[in-house]
Amino acid sequence: MLVLSSQQKIWKTVQLIPKGKVATYGQIADLAGLPGRARLVGKSLGNVPSELHVPWYRVLRSTGQIAFPAGTEQSRTQTGYLQQEGVAVFNNKVKLKSFQWQPDLGELLWKLEF
DNA sequence: GGTGTGACAACAA
DNA sequence: TTTGTTGCCACAC
Q: Is the confidence at residue A13, as pLDDT, over 70?
A: yes
CA of residue A13 relative to chain centroid, distance: 8
Which residues sit close to strand C, CB under 7 Å?
A 5-7, 36-40, 43
CA–CA distance, A26 with A13 (Å, rounded to integer): 12
Q: Global pTM? A: 0.91
pLDDT at A4: 67
Chain C: nucleotides under 7 Å from a protein CB? 7-11
CA–CA distance, A67 with A94 (Å, rounded to integer): 11
Side-chain half-sphere CA neighbours of A19 within 13 A = 5
Q: Is the confidence at residue A2, as pLDDT, over 60?
A: no
Measuring from the CA of residue A63 to each C1', which nucleotide is nearest?
B9
